[in-house]
Structure 1
């Protein structure tokens, strides 16, 4: 019972939102004291600015990485709402470094480390929930990570400027050293000579490698999990949706008609509602949406279709599909509608589909003529099928 509740989509969504908020709270907790410190102390320092090292000396050694970690946690929390694998991986990395930061300080370590470690465990347990792959999300986190790392590296270098040979006292030099170190090129023209500076440089190298690896893994997973294949397949389908058949509905008739058209090598696109259960084959070109919506019809290529077939079990649904189709169809497109109840035949005729047919009318009339030994020919069957005879 409990497992079924946890697997419910809305419960999963609620858990994801709560987890994102908890991670964001972690980030705000790290940022807040640094912002307060900067708000009260930095304005006076900038008024008497003589060097970056002197200005940034108002901060504790760990406050710059603390601020960068806090920002990263907030970005990670935002990303988790998209349920992408890249967001999940990025959050794990940042939480791991938060635990490391907590172990190196004494101010927040009494609760920050177990709190962050608990969030890591929850993320690991919910690994399968973050199953979406997006090249956009991967790029977002790669760019966010690099910007935050660059911020950390540049201001860290300026904070410890005199601990390098030659001393780094200006922004361009700090930016140059940060990029060279992050990319692990290491020309050797600037060298850290104190223990703090060496440790700081080591963290920049490790973080640079980590974010590069994370970015690369996001791209690789997108490729290996079929992301590019899906894009190519989607574009191929769009190109195929020309002079094709569109079936709106998932009724038994719609499924039988689909199979018949595919057996004759016709290109068919099916439109079904999100909540509708269907038994179309797995390789069917399906558009999920409301077929009475013009945007959905255009997505299925209604403006380039040969026929649009309204085959819903409800006649009122078929009427709305006809009306929507008339707004977007091309000059050569024909609309055919199913009439489920013969009593609605005249009503559906009023919206003027190109053709309509009534299996109920056809079946009952053929049975009556057979019982009465009345003649039946092809013209009669065609007229009955398309509702051209009033009975």
Structure 2
């Protein structure tokens, strides 16, 4: 791929400058400029094209304004996909950027010059960040069916209206038929095109019924999960469908000062992990960092069952409170007798108690701190905290 070839030959310090945020920000600016210049161009006459006018078809001259605005709105959608790291958003943006540049040239306006320049600048920036947009777009069967129903109804209305064009006042071409279908199925109904016979009236009623149903189903299936995911992210709650995907994961019970470096190291690895905490503020902050988190008491059976402890690889208990750690260990051991449980004792005297509660390995923070200090003073290499927690006995 061109993006991979360019990225491999880019100096290392440049790769840090060309960040994902910079790419998304550039595309967002291009989208906003496309909308703004498109709106400004709508009310301008074709003669405003100047020297380009003789070479640009009249239909293009008439449509360049609203199509530029439409492209801008489509690119705003691709920006949202880029923010989620979706590969589909990357491809959509890569296809739309040349289109915005061409539309900027056709608009032949002083306001469109920044649009052309930024569109051209954004393309190599997008190519350099290709590898960072690696999430796949997964649609459920319901979402695919809803989208298919919406498209099917529009096709039914368009071709049906065109076939019955003799029974309609104002339908002469496929574009007229599509316009009639879209306006009718969305219940806008301007009245400029109407049926003149009974069969056309019956057909129009079917388009209204099917159109309203398909729009409602599509909005519920396509937009509903996104709203639910956003609410869940704000509240720090994973949905059941997201929890079902967990398998052979690391279960982190509790969240505090000790947990933060563990979560950071896990996030830098390929380990699949989930944090269970009753601290709603911490849960919200973790969600904003795209870290899987479930709000709940880590010592209760319900949250641990939802976190799929039965398929967890390891349980790490770090609530910063030895008494709460013991309760979480007891619950985890009862639900999953064979799972490896690792914890840390804030008080050295509680090490044996936590082992009796069911922990396989208890790390004394005092001993670990002294050990790391000596290793650092002697210049020896030390494995990460995560490696220490996940290593087998």
TM-score normalised to structure 2 length: 0.41
Higher alpha-carbon Rg: 1
